[in-house]
């Protein structure tokens, strides 16, 4: 029997949040704008019970019970009354959304033999929002299946009604046109890779012990996320050095690192509320040792997280949305413009993406049921390898996603550095022959 949940729901035309505006017009075969978060269980998944839990999830979170529509001036969201389907797990995560087959939902619920996964089209929410959805789904599934009644204390409360702040757009509330807009930066180094590529997302999953990697990071006064960012930059520096032997011709190497703004600005919105730190090095100045890279990462991340600079980024982004030229241009003309903006203010400015979802704690009663967690980002055309990180229990999962069929040079350099730095690495992949 379905549980009746009465929540405040948005109605009619629902404007996309400021971060989401870029995703619908730039969605393409090699730029899917999707990501996946999953949990592995110690028992088989019962699909019909998961279907019931999915229904209750959408009743609790009606702002996810929406479809994407293309208006004359803007893409927008509107309520979706269709039943959300449950997908059978395939071999390749974070692929292109099949909106029609998914009943036009922007959230996709997947059942593996012993795995429950959520994939999101980024116009709906970011990684933190999707993790909240997954926690609620897991909580309801375990209760309905008679496995355990456990409640997450660090996210949404299932028995509480949703309210307006959960589907608010904090970017609009924080916009201040008197602030100087955030400056753009120069084009970064991009590694094209070798050999063929296909639309199927290939994964190399590196698993390391949290205790080991935390010790290596702490020895350099870094967080785990900063340490992994430094390893990524080091690997890209090695590749650029091989491809561009002349120093003066080498472009800056930068990473795009998502920053969750919810704690900074004290809001719990379930929409996108992320900005991106651009951190990196300039190899035209010479070769950087790892310790030099580590110093740059630590200083640049601290700088990027300052509220005043975050507000400057928000000012730049929201001002573009509010400009008369953009507001009243038809969608047909906006789409190619957004593609140019996405390149100029996005992909062209960085050499790779690394997103760290952090350490996920589960209620004590659920911990024995969930054996592992994973997080996958879709790669892109300009930067075809992305890195997604999540910690659970004693392990850290580092997932490299790529469109390259055979080229794994970057992933090998990254993992080799970890091993040489004294960190044991176990590797698995959905690639044939690995």
Contacts of 295 (CB under 8 A, 6+ apart): none
Task: State the pLDDT at residue 309.
Answer: 96
Task: State the pLDDT at residue 342.
Answer: 65
For 433, how many CA atoms within 13 A lie in the half-sphere containing its CB? 3
Q: Where are the domains of the chain?
A: 14-158+166-174, 197-429
Mean of pLDDT values over 393-409: 95
CATH superfamily of 14-158+166-174: Chloramphenicol acetyltransferase-like domain (3.30.559.10)
Please state, rounded to an integer, the average pLDDT across all residues of the chain: 92
**From CA 336, how far away is CA 329, in angstroms rounded?**
12
Each residue of 387-414: b (16+ CB within 10 Å) or e? bbbbbbeebbbbbbbbbbbebbbbbebb
Tokens 């996946």 belong to residue? 36
**From CA 315, how far away is CA 318, in angstroms rounded?**
5
Would the pLDDT of 148 be above 90? Answer: yes
Output the CA–CA distances (angstroms, integers) from residue 72 to 77, 78, 322, 364, 427, in the order listed.
13, 15, 16, 50, 48
Asked if residues 47 and 93 have their Cβ atoms less than 8 Å apart, the reply is no
Task: State the pLDDT at residue 352.
Answer: 96
Mean of pLDDT values over 17-30: 92
Residue 57 pLDDT grade (very low, low, confident, very high; cuts 50, 70, 90): very high
Q: Is 128 exposed, middle or buried (0-12, 13-18, 19+ CB in 10 A)?
A: buried
**CATH class of the domain comprising 197-429:** alpha beta
Mean of pLDDT values over 310-314: 96
Residue 327 pLDDT grade (very low, low, confident, very high; cuts 50, 70, 90): confident
Would the pLDDT of 292 be above 60? Answer: yes
Residues of the chain with pLDDT > 90: what percent? 74
Domains 14-158+166-174 and 197-429 share a fold: yes
**From CA 71, how far away is CA 12, in angstroms rounded?**
13
Contacts of 136 (CB under 8 A, 6+ apart): 57, 60, 61, 152, 155, 156, 158
Q: Is 402 helix (H, G, I), strand (E, B) or coil?
A: strand
Helices and strands counted in the chain (H then E): 11, 15
| Closest by CA position to 64, among listed 120, 142, 139 | 120
Residue 105 pLDDT grade (very low, low, confident, very high; cuts 50, 70, 90): very high
Mean of pLDDT values over 119-126: 97
Asked if residues 185 and 255 have their Cβ atoms less than 8 Å apart, the reply is no
Q: Which two tokens stand for residue 249?
A: 């011709």
pTM: 0.94
Asked if residues 98 and 4 have their Cβ atoms less than 8 Å apart, the reply is no
Task: State the pLDDT at residue 1.
Answer: 47
Output the CA–CA distances (angstroms, integers) from residue 227 to 5, 83, 213, 294, 424, in the order listed.
44, 43, 8, 7, 15
| pLDDT tens for each residue of 218-249 | 999 999 999 999 999 999 999 998 888 888 88
């Amino acid at each position: 029997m379905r549980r009746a949940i009465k929540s405040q729901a948005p109605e009619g035309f629902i404007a996309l949040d400021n971060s989401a505006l870029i995703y619908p017009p730039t969605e393409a075969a090699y730029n899917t704008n999707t990501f996946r978060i999953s949990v592995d269980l110690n028992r088989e998944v019962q699909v019909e019970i998961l279907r019931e839990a999915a229904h209750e999830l959408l009743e609790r979170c009606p702002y996810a019970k929406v479809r994407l529509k293309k208006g004359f001036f803007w893409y927008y969201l509107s309520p979706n009354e269709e039943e959300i389907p449950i997908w059978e797990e395939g071999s390749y995560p974070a692929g292109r959304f099949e909106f029609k087959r998914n009943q036009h939902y922007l959230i996709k619920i997947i059942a593996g033999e012993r795995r429950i996964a959520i994939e999101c089209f980024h116009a709906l929410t970011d990684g933190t929002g999707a993790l909240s959805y997954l926690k609620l789904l897991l909580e309801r599934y375990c209760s309905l299946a008679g496995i355990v009644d456990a409640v997450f204390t660090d996210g949404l409360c299932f028995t509480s009604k949703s309210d307006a702040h959960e589907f608010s757009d904090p970017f609009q509330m924080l916009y201040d046109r008197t602030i100087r807009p955030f400056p753009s930066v120069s084009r970064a180094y991009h590694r094209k890779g070798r050999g063929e590529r296909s639309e199927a997302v290939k994964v190399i999953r590196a698993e390391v012990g949290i205790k080991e990697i935390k010790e290596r990071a702490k020895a350099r006064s870094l967080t785990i996320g900063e340490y992994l960012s430094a390893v990524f930059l080091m690997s890209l520096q090695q590749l650029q050095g091989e491809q561009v032997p002349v120093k003066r011709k080498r472009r800056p190497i930068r990473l795009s690192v998502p920053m969750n703004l919810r704690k900074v600005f004290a809001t719990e919105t379930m929409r996108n509320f992320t900005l991106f730190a651009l951190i990196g090095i300039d190899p035209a100045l010479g070769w950087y040792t790892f310790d030099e890279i580590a110093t740059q990462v630590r200083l640049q991340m601290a700088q990027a997280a300052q509220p005043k600079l975050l507000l400057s980024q928000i000012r730049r982004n929201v001002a573009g949305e509010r400009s008369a030229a953009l507001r009243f241009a038809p969608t047909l003309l906006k789409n190619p413009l957004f593609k140019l903006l996405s390149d100029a203010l996005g992909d062209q400015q960085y050499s790779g993406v690394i997103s760290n979802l952090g350490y996920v704690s589960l209620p004590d009663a659920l911990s024995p049921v969930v054996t592992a967690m994973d997080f996958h980002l879709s790669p892109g055309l300009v930067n075809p390898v992305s890195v997604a990180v999540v910690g659970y229990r004693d392990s850290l999962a580092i997932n490299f996603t790529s469109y390259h069929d055979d080229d794994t040079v970057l992933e090998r350099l990254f993992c080799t550095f970890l091993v040489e730095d004294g960190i044991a690495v176990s590797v698995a992949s959905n690639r044939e022959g690995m």
